[in-house]
């Protein structure tokens, strides 16, 4: 065809970034599901009564170049000063090898929580390294991996102390030298549980009056103290001792275990994770072996696979919310896995000597700083310190802080007359000299010879990080290959679809991710003056407005740093509303049986009674049961927690009535927003009758899952609840905006997509799910559908019949999917023995077909067993997953190696090989090992 100058090709690729199927593929899929076009499918699927009236209007979507330019302009409005504020947030140097190979590597950041251990051995090993590091540094036997931030870790420790303490006392003591945000979050957590919090001087503590106590060192003003005697006093009174400690300082200081502490908590932020305006970073908790079953959070353990080889897995899961629900040790689900991996790699990179050298250098710098100030006549406090001092400057406080800012340095305002200074790994001699200048002192950094300002009895006397993994030759080649090797053991989104229902594993686009590492976002301390964080201010305001428009709520709190934390915050908001209206006695919460485990676990944390509501046969909430229970508890009804669209993957039309009933009986409605990927642009929880919802920005709004965190769970509320948000009624996280530095990802997602793009993503997510349901029909039963036969953005397929017909469990199918190169869908939730499939809009037709082909082939393998053509025990499903080792092992099986290792779906060239065969769960829990096994065990290869 001759070229005509008017024949412009439409350039619409930008909007396709997040939309997997091409227009041609969509046409084919629509015809397969029997819909004339996408509009018709959506009309058919999303009931008219719940549709939003106005389309989203965010103006024109940006191109990637426009976005990155706009982000640069916004970022430049944040002023990066050197923050010596301390208070739990420190400058640190992220080794570039870790920044590039972990933080900026989709093989690590797009992975899911390691529930399927066979495809997660890499990150499980990295997290086991984390636990070993924490266990060593704290001197306690068992550590978890990991918690949301130091303040919530303190609150978790208080709750755990109450669970294990044999003391009858109702109060908890908190060292007044703890960081203020730790005290705030402890208070928030204590209130609904009826715990009295006593903040005071540890020397004046009455150990007989408390069930536990928390001490901190280095204290928020720098104190380094030995709490051995205080801890003995607690133990004499059957009370539990919690110590919050900076793990870097523990390379020099006597460790909590040596003081007799029962629980240690803290943050690993300064192990190479930038402060990021408050997060994300991994908090830690360690405890004595006797208390391990009471510990919150994930614990990695060592087990064996079906050939007796070492394999890692999540252990003691029966403590967790997804199994124990309101009896769980906590509501922690998404934690901070990626950041724990970074921190563990920092320790692997530096080794024990390197860490100690860093700590010594920080201490020496602080000593020189103090000596200079003392020589000039200033009074420095405390006398014994690690990295933090305060200086009494009397009426000059504001002037000194201002002069420091003129030197591009932030100091901390302490009381009315003092200034706090905390040094870190990144502090240079020039920084120390600039601090002196702020005090009017003209000195050179080398004017002082260093000495230790740590009293002898506080010196550490034990070894740590003795395991060979922390003693690699630290040439970067070896380090790079270690990180690559671990990444290659895992299956993340960079290789295959992860069709996890309710978890929304969608694209985290490169352009959205890039600003996270920019210094203007990553190096802002959470407590800087607002005029240094104007860029963040613009982002927070615009993102909140967009989320309000998307959800139909009136305001957002960005404080909660996970979905579960959002639930806790939202329920506290409701509780505060009831209390302020004189209805504080309301404490009953209706929760459908199909709810996510975090829902009942969060309700329990605010002291509420969980009343479960039945589902009707079609999967909907049983309206009669709901009404009857609301009526029965009318006087005490605090509210309900429902998920929309339901966890059964259906848009229930009755949702408006459920909300109405709750309101009629004086309750408030919490709508769990984890399934928002089925709603954005089509329906708004605020319009349905919701009073508060959390959004999982790491599901719907493109923040990566990081192998189990980070996440963000901001809550939206209706106007009447705004005065009761955590900002006003009590902090739920350490930092005011949770994990602030990952908010640019969600903001970028909205800006790149525009309102129309976001709505299209929702529509395609629904199309993809309906296409898969259609293709699997006949081979598998789709458990729940809406009245027109459609599913929402996910569907549940029933695998229970195969238990009877072939002795095949849902787990066998999940493991066989690994051979096909897939991560299994969500297993046995919300219905035991089923798989919940959520493809998201990101996957194209080819990938959906690959998965469906794999599932259909698995169905045929089951049929072979059903028809007696293959042995019920010796078959590809029972032996799944197959490793490369299986190719060279003796083979006595009634199926070929080829059938075993290369079933439909698996790639021939780019085959994913799991590094282990099926992992033995029971063995791991019975023989619990939560630290790196001895090196001899590594020689199996």
Ligand X SMILES: *Cc1c(COP(=O)(O)O)cnc(C)c1O
Q: Which residues bind ligand X (CB under 6 A)?
A: 333-334, 502, 562-564, 596, 598, 643, 647, 672, 674, 696, 711, 713
Minimum Å gap between C-beta 601 and ligand X is 10
Burial 425-434 (b: 16+ CB within 10 A, else e): bebeeebbbb
Q: Beta partners for 596?
A: none
Minimum Å gap between C-beta 230 and ligand X is 35
Minimum Å gap between C-beta 708 and ligand X is 9
Choose between 115 and 553: whose C-beta lies nearer to ligand X. Answer: 115
Choose between 425 and 672: whose C-beta lies nearer to ligand X. Answer: 672
Q: What distance in Å separates the CA atoms of residue 630 and residue 431, rounded to the nearest whole number?
A: 62
Q: What distance in Å separates the CA atoms of residue 209 and residue 80, rounded to the nearest whole number?
A: 46
Choose between 100 and 322: whose C-beta lies nearer to ligand X. Answer: 322
Minimum Å gap between C-beta 814 and ligand X is 18
Q: Beta partners for 410?
A: 83
Minimum Å gap between C-beta 56 and ligand X is 23
Whole-angstrom Cα Rg for the chain: 28
Q: What distance in Å separates the CA atoms of residue 916 and residue 924, rounded to the nearest whole number?
A: 15
Choose between 254 and 793: whose C-beta lies nearer to ligand X. Answer: 793
Minimum Å gap between C-beta 678 and ligand X is 12
Q: Give the pair of three-digit tokens for residue 140.
A: 């306690």
Burial 269-290 (b: 16+ CB within 10 A, else e): bbbbbbbbbbbbbbbbbbbbee
Residue with tokens 């949702």: 655
Minimum Å gap between C-beta 540 and ligand X is 20
DSSP per-residue letters across 427-453: --HHHHHHHHHHTT----GGGS-----
Choose between 359 and 703: whose C-beta lies nearer to ligand X. Answer: 703
Choose between 185 and 362: whose C-beta lies nearer to ligand X. Answer: 185
Minimum Å gap between C-beta 12 and ligand X is 32
Classified as helix, coil or strand, 592 is strand
Classified as helix, coil or strand, 540 is helix
Choose between 397 and 502: whose C-beta lies nearer to ligand X. Answer: 502
Minimum Å gap between C-beta 333 and ligand X is 3
Minimum Å gap between C-beta 643 and ligand X is 5
Torsion sign over Cα 649, 650, 656, 658? negative
Choose between 714 and 754: whose C-beta lies nearer to ligand X. Answer: 714
Q: What distance in Å separates the CA atoms of residue 138 and residue 141, rounded to the nearest whole number?
A: 9
Q: What distance in Å separates the CA atoms of residue 450 and residue 364, rounded to the nearest whole number?
A: 5
Minimum Å gap between C-beta 596 and ligand X is 3
Minimum Å gap between C-beta 297 and ligand X is 12
Q: What distance in Å separates the CA atoms of residue 737 and residue 357, rounded to the nearest whole number?
A: 33
Choose between 115 and 211: whose C-beta lies nearer to ligand X. Answer: 115
Residue with tokens 């250098």: 361
Choose between 535 and 566: whose C-beta lies nearer to ligand X. Answer: 566
Minimum Å gap between C-beta 742 and ligand X is 12
Neighbours of 752 (CB within 10 A): 23
Minimum Å gap between C-beta 647 and ligand X is 6
Minimum Å gap between C-beta 739 and ligand X is 11
Choose between 333 and 880: whose C-beta lies nearer to ligand X. Answer: 333
Classified as helix, coil or strand, 12 is coil
Q: What distance in Å separates the CA atoms of residue 359 and residue 248, rounded to the nearest whole number?
A: 6
Asked if 598 and 326 count as a contact pair (C-beta separation under 8 A), the reply is: no
Residue 143, judged by CB atoms within 10 A of its CB (0-12, 13-18, 19+), counts as buried
Asked if 706 and 333 count as a contact pair (C-beta separation under 8 A), the reply is: no
Q: What distance in Å separates the CA atoms of residue 632 and residue 613, rounded to the nearest whole number?
A: 13
Choose between 94 and 502: whose C-beta lies nearer to ligand X. Answer: 502
Choose between 397 and 562: whose C-beta lies nearer to ligand X. Answer: 562
Classified as helix, coil or strand, 590 is strand
How far, in whole angstroms, is CA 301 from its chain's centroid?
Answer: 19
Q: For Cα atoms 763, 46, 661, give the angle at the middle one, nearest 5 degrees.
A: 135
DSSP per-residue letters across 871-934: -SSSSHHHHPSP-HHHHHS----SS-HHHHHS-TTS-SSS----SSS-B-HHHHHHT---SPPP
Q: What distance in Å separates the CA atoms of residue 376 and residue 818, rounded to the nearest whole number?
A: 67
Neighbours of 579 (CB within 10 A): 16
Choose between 708 and 924: whose C-beta lies nearer to ligand X. Answer: 708
Which is nearest to 912 in space by CA: 312, 341, 310, 121?
Answer: 121
Choose between 115 and 227: whose C-beta lies nearer to ligand X. Answer: 115
Minimum Å gap between C-beta 660 and ligand X is 22
Choose between 127 and 239: whose C-beta lies nearer to ligand X. Answer: 127
Choose between 643 and 809: whose C-beta lies nearer to ligand X. Answer: 643
Choose between 115 and 436: whose C-beta lies nearer to ligand X. Answer: 115
DSSP per-residue letters across 493-513: TTTS---BTTT------HHHH
**Nearest residue (beta carbon) to ligand X:** 563
Residue 530, judged by CB atoms within 10 A of its CB (0-12, 13-18, 19+), counts as exposed
Q: What distance in Å separates the CA atoms of residue 195 and residue 878, rounded to the nearest whole number?
A: 50
Residue with tokens 């909140």: 544
Minimum Å gap between C-beta 564 and ligand X is 3
Minimum Å gap between C-beta 498 and ligand X is 14
DSSP per-residue letters across 381-419: E-SS-SSEEEEE-GGGHHHHHHHHHHTTEE-EEETTTEE
């Amino acid at each position: 065809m001759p070229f005509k100058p008017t024949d412009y090709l439409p350039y619409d690729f930008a909007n396709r970034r997040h939309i997997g199927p091409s227009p041609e593929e969509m046409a084919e899929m629509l015809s397969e599901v029997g819909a004339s076009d996408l509009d018709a499918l959506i009309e058919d699927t999303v009931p008219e009564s719940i549709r939003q009236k106005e389309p989203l209007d965010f103006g024109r979507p940006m191109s990637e170049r426009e976005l990155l330019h706009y982000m640069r302009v916004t970022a430049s409005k944040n002023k990066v000063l050197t923050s010596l504020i301390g208070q739990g947030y420190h400058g640190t140097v992220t080794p570039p090898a870790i920044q590039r190979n972990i933080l900026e590597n989709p093989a690590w950041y797009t992975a899911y929580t390691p529930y399927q251990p066979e495809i997660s051995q890499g990150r499980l090993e990295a997290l086991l390294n984390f636990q070993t590091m924490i266990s060593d540094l704290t001197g306690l036997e068992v550590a978890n991996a990991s918690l949301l931030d130091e303040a919530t870790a303190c609150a978790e420790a208080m709750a755990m102390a109450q669970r294990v303490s044999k003391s009858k006392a109702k109060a908890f003591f908190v060292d007044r030298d703890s960081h203020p945000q730790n005290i705030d979050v402890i208070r928030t957590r204590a209130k609904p549980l009826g715990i009295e919090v006593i903040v005071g001087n540890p020397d004046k503590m009455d150990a007989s009056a408390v069930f536990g106590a928390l001490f901190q060192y280095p204290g928020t003003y720098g104190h380094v103290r030995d709490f051995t005697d205080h801890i003995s006093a607690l133990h004499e009174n059957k009370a539990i001792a919690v110590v919050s400690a900076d793990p870097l300082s523990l390379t020099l200081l006597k460790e909590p275990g040596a003081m007799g502490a029962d629980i240690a908590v803290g943050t690993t932020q300064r192990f190479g994770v930038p402060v990021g305006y408050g997060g994300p970073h991994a908090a830690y908790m360690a405890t004595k072996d006797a208390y391990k079953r009471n510990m919150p959070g994930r614990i990695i353990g060592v087990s064996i696979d079906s050939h007796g080889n070492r394999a890692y897995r999540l252990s003691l899961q029966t403590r967790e919310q997804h199994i124990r629900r309101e009896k769980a040790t906590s509501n922690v689900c998404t934690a901070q896995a990626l950041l724990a991996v970074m921190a563990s790699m920092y320790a692997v990179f530096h080794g024990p000597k390197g860490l100690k050298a860093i700590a010594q250098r920080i201490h020496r710098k602080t000593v020189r700083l103090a000596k200079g100030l003392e020589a000039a006549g200033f009074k420095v406090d405390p006398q014994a310190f690690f990295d933090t001092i305060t200086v009494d400057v009397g009426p000059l406080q504001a002037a000194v802080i201002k002069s420091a800012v003129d030197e591009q340095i932030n100091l901390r305002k302490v009381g009315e007359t003092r200034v706090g200074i905390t040094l870190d790994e990144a502090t240079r001699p020039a920084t120390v000299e600039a601090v002196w200048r702020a005090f009017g002192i003209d000195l050179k950094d080398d004017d002082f010879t260093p000495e230790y300002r740590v009293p002898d009895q506080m010196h550490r006397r034990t070894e740590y990080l003795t395991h060979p993994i922390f003693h690699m030759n630290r040439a970067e080649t070896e380090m790079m290959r270690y990180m690559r090797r671990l990444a290659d053991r895992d299956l993340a989104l960079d290789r295959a679809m992860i069709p996890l229902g309710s978890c929304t594993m969608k694209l985290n686009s490169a352009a959205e991710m890039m600003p996270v590492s920019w210094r203007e976002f990553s190096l802002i301390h959470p407590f800087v003056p607002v005029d240094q964080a104007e860029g963040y201010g613009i982002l927070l305001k615009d993102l909140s407005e967009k989320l309000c428009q998307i959800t139909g709520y009136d305001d957002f709190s960005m404080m909660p740093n996970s979905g579960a934390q959002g639930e806790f915050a939202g329920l506290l908001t409701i509780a505060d509303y009831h209390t302020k209206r004189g209805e504080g006695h309301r404490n009953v919460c209706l929760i459908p049986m199909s709810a996510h485990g975090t829902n009942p676990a969060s309700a329990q944390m605010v002291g509420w009674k969980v009343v479960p509501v039945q589902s009707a046969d079609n999967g909907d909430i049983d309206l009669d049961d709901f009404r009857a229970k609301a009526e029965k508890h009318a006087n005490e009804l605090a509210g309900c927690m429902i998920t929309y669209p339901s966890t059964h993957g259906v848009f229930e039309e009755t949702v408006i009535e459920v909300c109405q009933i709750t309101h009629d009986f004086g309750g408030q409605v919490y709508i769990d927003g984890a399934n928002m990927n089925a709603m954005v642009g089509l329906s708004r929880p605020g319009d349905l009758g919701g009073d508060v919802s959390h959004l999982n920005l790491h599901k719907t709004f493109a923040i990566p899952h990081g192998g189990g965190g980070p996440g963000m769970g901001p809550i939206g509320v209706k106007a009447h609840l705004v005065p009761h948000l955590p900002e006003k009624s009590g902090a739920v996280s350490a930092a005011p905006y949770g994990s602030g530095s990952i908010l640019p990802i969600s903001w970028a997602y909205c800006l790149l997509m525009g309102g129309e793009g976001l709505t299209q993503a929702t529509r395609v997510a629904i199309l993809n799910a309906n296409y898969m349901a259609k293709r699997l029909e006949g081979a598998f039963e789709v458990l729940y559908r809406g009245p027109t036969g459609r599913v929402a953005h996910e569907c549940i397929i029933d695998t229970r019949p195969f238990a009877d017909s072939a002795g095949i469990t849902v787990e066998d199918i999940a493991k066989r999917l690994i051979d096909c190169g897939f991560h299994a869908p969500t297993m046995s939730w919300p219905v035991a023995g089923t798989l919940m499939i959520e493809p998201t809009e990101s996957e194209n037709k080819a990938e959906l077909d690959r998965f469906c082909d794999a599932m259909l082939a698995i169905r045929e393998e089951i049929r072979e067993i059903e028809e007696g053509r293959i042995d019920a025990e010796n078959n590809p499903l029972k032996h799944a997953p197959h490793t490369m080792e299986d190719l060279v092992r003796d083979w006595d099986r009634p199926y070929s190696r080829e059938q075993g290792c290369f079933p439909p779906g698996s790639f021939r060239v780019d085959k994913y090989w799991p590094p282990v065969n099926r992992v033995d769960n029971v063995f791991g829990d019975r023989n619990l090992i939560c630290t790196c096994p001895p090196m001899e065990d590594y020689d199996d290869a």
